[in-house]
């Protein structure tokens, strides 16, 4: 959907109150901030009282406030988060940014007046995906950072939702929402706001996963022409000096409708960079180098620009009337907005009547608010010989200030009632995804599996029958026609099901006459996201690999019992970059401890970084009892290794070598 305004919204980060003041002072149209359950758990963030203050301050300046609720949730958290969202919506929040489809559905159902923005954690790289989130209640989607200008324009033209695009700031090397590295290797879930940033660590002799920061200052005219609704600056972990400087730069560029100069980009780099900036996703040149490491010189330049930021209260004018026989009256004016409140009727003074100095002094004390009323800006009509208590004057002042800043609404008091998420009857007990025809041959022998999936590209190339479709993880709008033709051919060859790896693929596979199955990349971590998928016609689904045995046991759906679970999905081909195409199938990243993480090629030369150890549960009855239906994930195994896994699983025996177990909480 194209925006309806002349300029896109400039959306700035507010990781702290000081950053909020900096963003607003620098000209942001909107700010986004976190409280509980945000994807930046280690930012200062805001408690509920501070959220109310932030909303009032922003609204006084005509700035919108969006609350980040963009983490995956577990069942036990859903009721509390719904209640929390109810309370903060009553503060006047302008929108919530949501990643979990279960929460998105809940908020749309229970708080329909609260606008919802689908987070970039939702893996939004196509119009189909954007429209799916719109059908669940999102009014805006945050596009994947990996999209080119062409991909952005296609989404804007085709989607029923507004489109928000990242403009400046840090880049994750993995598609957002598809990085499990910190979670499965380090125990800190990036999808739940606790990322330990393993991408910034060395692998081999360098830092191949550390990308330079994004900067699209040279492409402002193209972004203006694209029709995007919002341009977003990343940086809730950044200092106020960064927020102020970067926001001011893009405010100037947008207002003047021009590209940044070299000097302006150098100043932005001094605020924060990793050896410079990149625009290579946007310009579709991401096969070229994009890596960047924060050097000592970068850090020194940033330190020179650190400043303490304070805010300037908004100056208001006032008019007070205190005369005999009438309730005391106070009006405050800010810009074109005027509010008037009344208080007590003054009494006749017995000894010390009110003086103009005393009344002006009491009514101008707006400390503790974001307002400033100078005594000389208060026009006062005061009758002679009258008396009001100090408390009555203070109450009159507080009532006027509250009215001008906007009163909070009462929460609706919504109550969470869990949705049913029972899967259909008759689903196969044991399924597997294979990457090669040799793996497929091993898995097809002996009747161990009830259903097998193969990559769509392999089915098309080899003409293999008896397998269902495993969809590519990413399908952009430009790739869609070719994929649809391949799906139609697979259906004609006998395939009935398609394992979908993004929400946008559900409509695509149905268009080809196939039944969608939800893959693990859909990040189902609670019953509400499972229920949302079932309501969309999914016939079966895999649960998130991040779930513990206890949480798996509470969700009657399929879980991965064996496999090297993908830790990252990258748009760039790290095999070709780091090892050369001849190493395809054998390349791996080696960390500083000597641990190897295999690299596997995906559709269109994307790369999957696999875990160093396979997850394996089949020899643990205490774990398999938690799994309703089993899924096996074969990636780099040889045919012989696949047969060994199947033999061990059939007999519930241990595997040779180290394996990963499920977390216990």
* Count of structural domains within the chain: 3
588 membership: H or E segment, kind and range: strand 588-590
Mean pLDDT, rounded, for 254-271? 97
Confirm whether 193 is domain-assigned: no
Looking at residue 41, its pLDDT comes to 56
pLDDT tens digits along 543-574: 999 999 899 989 999 999 999 999 999 999 98
| Rg of the chain over all Cα atoms, to the nearest angstrom | 29
Q: Return d(Cα 418, Cα 436) in angstroms, integer.
A: 41
User: Residue 420 has which token pair?
Assistant: 């049913």
Query: Both 331 and 260 in a single domain?
Result: no
**Is residue 549 assigned to a domain?**
yes
CA distance 129 to 308: 42
585 pLDDT band, cuts 50/70/90, is confident
The pLDDT, as a whole number, for residue 379 is 96
- Is residue 40 predicted with pLDDT exceeding 70? no
- The answer to whether the beta carbons of residues 148 and 169 sit under 8 Å apart is no
Question: From the DSSP assignment, how many helices (H) and strands (E) are in the chain?
Answer: 22, 30
**CATH number of domain containing 547:** 3.20.20.70
Q: Is the pLDDT of residue 42 over 60?
A: no
**Which pLDDT score is estimated for 39?**
54
Q: How far apart are CA 31 and CA 11, in angstroms?
A: 5
In a domain, 662, yes or no: no
Q: If you write DSSP's letter for every residue of 279-332 in order, what string do you get?
A: -TTTTT-TTS--B----HHHHHHHHHT-----PPPEE-EEEEEE-TTS--EEEE
What is the predicted pLDDT for the residue at 645? 98
Q: List pLDDT tens digits, range 429-451.
A: 999 999 999 999 999 999 999 99
Residues 300 and 318 in one domain: no
**For residue range 314-323, what is the model confidence (pLDDT) as tens digits?**
899 999 999 9
pLDDT band at 527; cut points 50, 70, 90: very high
131 contacts 156 by C-beta, under 8 angstroms: no
Contact 94, 64 (CB under 8 A): yes
Instruction: Please check whether residues 285 and 356 belong to one and the same domain.
Output: no
pLDDT one-digit tens code per residue, 199-252 = 999 999 899 999 999 999 999 999 999 999 999 999 999 999 999 999 999 999
As a whole-number percent, the residues of the chain with pLDDT over 90 amount to 83
Q: Which one of 247, 280, 304 terminates a domain? A: 304
Q: Report if residue 183 sits inside a domain.
A: no
Which residues span the domain enclosing 374?
A: 314-405
Please indicate, yes or no, whether residues 526 and 458 belong to a single structural domain of this protein.
Answer: yes
Rounded-to-integer distance, Cα 360 and Cα 341, Å: 16
Which pLDDT band holds residue 293 (cuts at 50, 70, 90)? very high
As a whole number of angstroms, the distance between CA 368 and CA 57 comes to: 12
> Quick check: 37 pLDDT over 80?
no
Residue 30 and residue 12 in contact, taking contact as beta carbons nearer than 8 Å: yes
* pLDDT (0 to 100) of residue 580: 87
478 within domain boundaries: yes
Sign of CA dihedral 231, 293, 607, 524: negative
Check whether residue 68 and residue 87 sit in a common domain.
yes
Structure tokens at 313: 């209260």
Same domain, 451 and 336: no
| Residue at a domain's end among 279, 304, 329 | 304
Looking at the chain, the whole-number percentage of residues with pLDDT higher than 70 is 98
Q: With the C-alpha atoms ordered 201, 205, 209, 215, is the resulting torsion angle positive or negative? A: positive
Mean local confidence (pLDDT), 334-358? 93
Contacts (Cβ under 8 Å, ≥6 apart) of 195: 179, 182, 188, 189
Report how far residue 251's alpha carbon sits from residue 263's, in angstroms, rounded to the nearest whole number.
16
Same domain, 526 and 479: yes
Residue 664 has pLDDT above 90, yes or no: no
Check pLDDT > 80 for residue 308. no
Which whole number is the average pLDDT over 331-351?
A: 93
Q: Are residues 368 and 453 in the same domain?
A: no
**Bigger pLDDT: 663 or 197?**
197
Q: What is the pLDDT of residue 459?
A: 92
Judgement on whether residues 523 and 633 belong to the same structural domain of the protein? yes
- Give the contacts of 343 (CB within 8 A, at least 6 positions apart): 327, 328, 329, 330, 388, 392, 393, 395, 396, 399
On average, the pLDDT of the chain sits at: 94
Residue 322 included in any domain: yes
d(CA 111, CA 108): 6
Residue 239 is encoded by which pair of tokens? 């200092």
Give the mean pLDDT of 609-618. Answer: 97
C-beta of residue 543 within 8 angstroms of C-beta of residue 557: yes
Average pLDDT over residues 16-35: 94
The model's pLDDT over 68-104, given as tens digits with 9 standing for 90+, comes to 999 999 999 999 999 999 999 999 999 999 999 999 9
Report yes or no on 16 lying in a domain: yes
Among 243, 275, 304, where does a domain finish?
304
Residues 350 and 393 in one domain: yes
155 vs 46, higher pLDDT: 155
pLDDT, residue 355, reads 95
Residue 523 CA to residue 543 CA, distance in Å, equals: 7
Q: Is the pLDDT of residue 310 over 80?
A: no
Q: How far apart, in whole angstroms, are the C-alpha atoms of residue 101 and residue 119? A: 10
Rounded mean pLDDT, 176-194: 93
Residue 665 has pLDDT above 70, yes or no: no
Q: Which helix (H) or strand (E) holds 386?
A: strand 386-387
Residues 288 and 155 in one domain: yes
Question: Is there a single domain that holds both residue 497 and residue 530?
Answer: yes
Confidence bin at 49 (pLDDT 50/70/90): confident
Write the Ramachandran bin of 582: left for phi over 0, alpha for psi from -120 to 50, otherwise beta: alpha
Residue 413 lies in a domain: no
Largest CA distance in the chain: 104
Q: What is the pLDDT of residues 201-210, one digit of tens each?
A: 999 989 999 9
């Amino acid at each position: 959907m194209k925006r309806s305004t002349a300029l896109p919204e400039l959306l700035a980060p507010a990781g702290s109150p000081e950053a909020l003041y900096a963003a607003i002072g620098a000209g942001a149209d909107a700010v986004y901030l976190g409280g509980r359950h945000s994807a930046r758990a280690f930012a200062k963030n805001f408690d509920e009282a501070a959220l109310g203050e932030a909303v009032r301050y922003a609204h006084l300046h005509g700035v919108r406030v969006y609350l980040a609720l963009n983490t995956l949730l577990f069942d036990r958290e859903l009721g509390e988060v719904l209640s929390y969202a109810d309370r903060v919506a009553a503060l006047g929040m302008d929108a919530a940014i949501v990643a979990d489809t279960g929460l998105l559905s809940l908020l749309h159902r229970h708080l329909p007046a609260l606008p919802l923005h689908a987070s970039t954690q939702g893996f939004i790289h196509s119009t189909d995906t954007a429209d799916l989130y719109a059908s669940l209640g999102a009014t805006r989607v945050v596009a994947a950072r990996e999209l080119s200008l062409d991909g952005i324009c296609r989404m804007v033209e085709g989607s029923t939702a507004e489109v928000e695009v990242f403009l400046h700031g840090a880049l994750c090397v993995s598609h957002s929402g598809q990085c499990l590295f910190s979670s499965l290797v380090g125990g800190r879930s990036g999808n739940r706001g606790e990322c330990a940033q393993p991408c910034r660590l060395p692998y081999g002799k360098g830092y191949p996963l550390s990308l330079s920061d994004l900067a699209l200052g040279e492409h402002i005219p193209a972004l203006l022409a694209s029709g995007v609704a919002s341009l977003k600056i990343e940086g809730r972990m950044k200092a106020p000096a960064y927020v102020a400087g970067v926001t001011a730069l893009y405010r100037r560029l947008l207002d003047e409708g021009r590209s940044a100069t070299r000097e302006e980009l150098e100043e932005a780099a001094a605020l924060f960079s990793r050896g410079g900036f990149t625009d290579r996703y946007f310009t579709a040149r991401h096969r070229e180098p994009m890596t960047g490491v924060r050097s000592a010189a970068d850090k020194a330049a940033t330190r020179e620009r650190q400043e303490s930021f304070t805010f300037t209260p908004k100056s208001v004018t006032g008019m007070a009337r205190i005369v005999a026989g009438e309730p005391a009256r106070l009006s405050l004016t800010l810009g074109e907005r005027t509010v008037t409140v009344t208080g007590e009727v003054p009494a006749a003074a017995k000894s010390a009547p009110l003086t103009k100095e005393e009344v002006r002094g009491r009514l101008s004390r707006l400390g503790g608010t974001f307002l400033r009323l100078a005594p000389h800006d208060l026009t006062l009509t005061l009758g002679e010989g009258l008396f009001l208590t100090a408390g009555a004057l203070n109450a009159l002042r507080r009532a006027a200030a509250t009215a001008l800043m906007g009163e909070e609404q009462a929460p609706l008091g919504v109550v969470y009632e869990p949705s049913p998420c029972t899967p259909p009857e008759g689903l196969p007990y044991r399924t597997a995804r294979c990457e090669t025809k040799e793996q497929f041959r091993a898995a097809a022998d002996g009747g161990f599996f009830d259903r097998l999936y193969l990559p769509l590209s392999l089915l098309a190339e080899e003409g293999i029958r008896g397998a269902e479709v495993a969809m590519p993880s990413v399908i952009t709008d430009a790739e869609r026609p070719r994929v649809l033709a391949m799906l139609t051919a697979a259906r004609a060859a006998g395939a009935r099901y398609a394992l979908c790896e993004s929400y946008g693929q559900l409509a695509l596979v149905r268009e080809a006459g196939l039944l969608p199955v939800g893959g693990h990349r859909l990040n189902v971590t609670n019953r509400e996201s499972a229920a949302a998928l079932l309501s969309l016609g999914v016939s079966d689904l895999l649960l998130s690999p991040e779930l513990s045995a206890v949480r798996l046991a509470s969700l009657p759906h399929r879980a991965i019992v064996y496999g090297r679970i993908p830790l990252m999905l990258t748009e760039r081909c790290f095999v070709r970059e780091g090892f050369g195409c001849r190493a395809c199938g054998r390349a791996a990243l080696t960390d500083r401890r000597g641990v190897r993480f295999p690299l596997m090629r995906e559709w269109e030369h994307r790369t999957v970084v696999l875990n160093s150890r396979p997850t394996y549960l089949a020899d643990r009855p205490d774990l398999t009892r938690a799994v309703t239906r089993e899924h096996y994930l074969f990636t780099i195994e040889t045919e012989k290794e696949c047969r060994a896994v199947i033999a061990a699983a059939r007999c519930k025996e241990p595997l040779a070598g180290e394996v990963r177990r499920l977390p216990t909480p």
